[in-house]
Amino acid sequence: MPQAAATLLDTVVSRADSRRAQTAERAGAVAFVTVLTIVAAQVSIPLPFTPVPFTFQPMIVLVGGLALGARLGMASQILYLALGIAGLPVFAASPVLPPGVARLLGPTGGYLLSYPFAAFVTGYLAERGLDRRYATSVLAMAVGLVVVFTCGVSWLGLFARPAIGMAAALSAGFYPFVIPDLLKLLVAAGVMPGLWRLLGKPIS
């Protein structure tokens, strides 16, 4: 197994003067990705043929995982879910989806619950250096996107209130989104290699 490489956050934090400053920068980075996830949720486009809205959240989750690494990427999304469970208006605005913790039991609950795991997976791959080149960033983010769709569609089909069955779940939660999400991924995958170049780090 390849040795873990420094994430982008590791590299930035290593320039801090003290351990306390490094801890503060890590906490700030986690909070920043959480805030970006909240903002992305507010850019929500409801679609008439599915209860699942179109948002930019998955791309923030995946890029955040690449930047923060596995554990902190996961932490940023656990914090996001905790804020939503507490009743804060962080989930996508919707006239039909329930607020607060009930959102996690509804048709989009599987997508939301997938975010910590998708961030962990992409962060783990970033810790193996896959975020430093465009092609491997695409691969790492694609693996994370598979986690999002697998959890989201499975929940919608089998466990949501109401569950609609897997065939209907694919029609409502996968087919309309997979091409747009792949296109967004192809754009977003350029973020991390670009940031590494800005830091002046060689792409090995």
> What HEC string does 40-105 produce?
HHHCCECCCCCCCCECCHHHHHHHHHHHHCHHHHHHHHHHHHHHHHCCCCCCCCCCCCCCHHHHHH
Is residue 202's pLDDT more than 80?
no
Query: In the structure, what pLDDT confidence band is assigned to residue 3 with cuts at 50, 70 and 90?
Result: low
**80 near 37, Cβ under 8 Å?**
yes
Q: Which residues contact 61 (CB under 8 A, 6 or more apart)?
A: 37, 73, 77, 115, 118, 119, 122, 144, 148
| CATH 1.10.1760.20 for the 8-198 domain, yes or no | yes
Q: What is the pLDDT of residue 94?
A: 80
At residue 146, what is the residue type? Answer: V
**180 near 165, Cβ under 8 Å?**
no
Is residue 4's pLDDT more than 70?
no
- Tell me how long the chain is: 204
Token pair listed for 64: 């955040």
**Average pLDDT of the chain?**
91
Q: What is the pLDDT of residue 2?
A: 52
pLDDT digits (tens, 9 = 90+) for 144-201: 999 999 999 999 999 988 889 999 999 999 999 999 999 999 999 999 999 999 987 6
